[in-house]
Amino acid sequence: MGNFLIIRMEIWKNIKIKRSFRHIRMEKIFRSSLVLIALSLLVLVFAFMLTLIIQSLPSIKTLGFGFLYGKTWDPVANIYGTYPFLLGTLLTSFLALLISIPFSFSIAIFLGEYYPRGWFSEFLKNAIELIAAIPSVIYGFWGLFVLVPIVRSIEIKMGITPYGIGIFTSSVILAIMIIPYAASLGREMIRMVPADLKEAAYSLGATRWEVIRMVIIPYSKSGLFAGILLSLGRALGETMAVTMVIGNTSIIPQSIFDPGNTMASVIANEFTEAASTLYLSSLIELGLILFLVTVVINIIGKKVISRFTQ
């Protein structure tokens, strides 16, 4: 009987030892899979860049820098100059930025300084989040059926060709879409201005506006700048809404009311139709440029934010 008990205890001990060995093995597997997945995220981004570079090699080799300043884009004649799209992208993005900045900064100051709490600021905060949540294809759809007729009637009144669609219309849509990015970041930054700085200015007799202009804005300057950068990154890469209302012509726009094309919209429109290798790879080169520019803008933006918050 006693013998039997000892044997049983031996078996139990073995099981326990085995179990803890299994645990140690699992622990190792878990740790290494964490590292592996983290590495795979890094590899993913590099593979992204590599794929874009390799696939755009044919056009980089044949077209060189002429690709960037060539003024005609005519796939039928095998001429690929992307100047019209670069211009279109820059025009729409900066115009959108110009329109959206007063609004997003007002919201940032409103929520960060004037009314940080209360039902109305809750409402405004939710509204801003909602603006960011609506899919871009819905913005494009709405723009096509509501904004385009409005712009067209304005253009008729101004006496210019009433396209309705075009650079200006897409900038307005884009401006609405990018308001939340600069607004929410700006709000966070304005909140972080130390209260004693503000109080010191008040005690010197400054009015609210003077405090905002001389204390809050200088203090949160770099944060506000980062917000603008992130908005710009969004605007540059935005595809669907712009594609639907910009008009999609490869002619260089003469004014902001002309139809045009952006880098993203030309990719969206022509990628599946691109038959020749050179055509396809020049579209991918556009994608590569877009990727690199947005990456640089985003990294600078994030760096500014992290320096500000530390």
- Write out the binding residues for other proteins, residues 140-169 only, by CB under 8 A: 140-142, 144-146
Rounded to whole angstroms, how far apart are CA atoms 93 and 236? 6
Report the candidate in 298, 283, 135, 306 with the shortest Cα–Cα distance to residue 232.
298
Given 6, 44, 76, 77, the residue binding other proteins (CB under 8 A):
44
Asked if 297 and 233 touch (Cβ cutoff 8 Å), the reply is yes
Given 124, 154, 251, 256, the residue binding other proteins (CB under 8 A):
124
Name residue, tokens 């809404």. Answer: 241
Rounded to whole angstroms, how far apart are CA atoms 67 and 59? 8
Query: Quick check: 199 binds other proteins (CB under 8 A)?
Result: no
Query: Quick check: 307 binds other proteins (CB under 8 A)?
Result: no
Name residue, tokens 């990456």. Answer: 295
- Write out the binding residues for other proteins, residues 200-259 only, by CB under 8 A: 207-210, 212, 230, 233, 236-240, 244
Query: Quick check: 35 binds other proteins (CB under 8 A)?
Result: yes
Given 59, 82, 93, 136, the residue binding other proteins (CB under 8 A):
136
Instruction: Write down the least CB distance from residue 259 to other proteins, Å.
Output: 14
Rounded to whole angstroms, how far apart are CA atoms 109 and 216? 9
Rounded to whole angstroms, how far apart are CA atoms 208 and 185? 22
Given 10, 27, 74, 199, the residue binding other proteins (CB under 8 A):
27
Instruction: Write down the least CB distance from residue 2 to other proteins, Å.
Output: 30
Given 11, 68, 90, 137, the residue binding other proteins (CB under 8 A):
137
Closest to other proteins by CB, 52 vs 91, is 52
Query: Quick check: 37 binds other proteins (CB under 8 A)?
Result: yes
Give the Å distances, CA to CA, from 116 to 62, 123, 124, 127, 190: 57, 12, 11, 15, 10
Residue type, position 90, single letter: L
Residue type, position 306, single letter: S
Q: Of 44-52, 63-71, 72-80, 219-227, which segment contacts other proteins by CB under 8 A? A: 44-52
Residue type, position 245, single letter: V
Query: Quick check: 302 binds other proteins (CB under 8 A)?
Result: yes
The partner residues of 74 in beta bridges, in order of sequence, read: 79
- Write out the binding residues for other proteins, residues 265-284 only, by CB under 8 A: 267-268, 271-272, 284
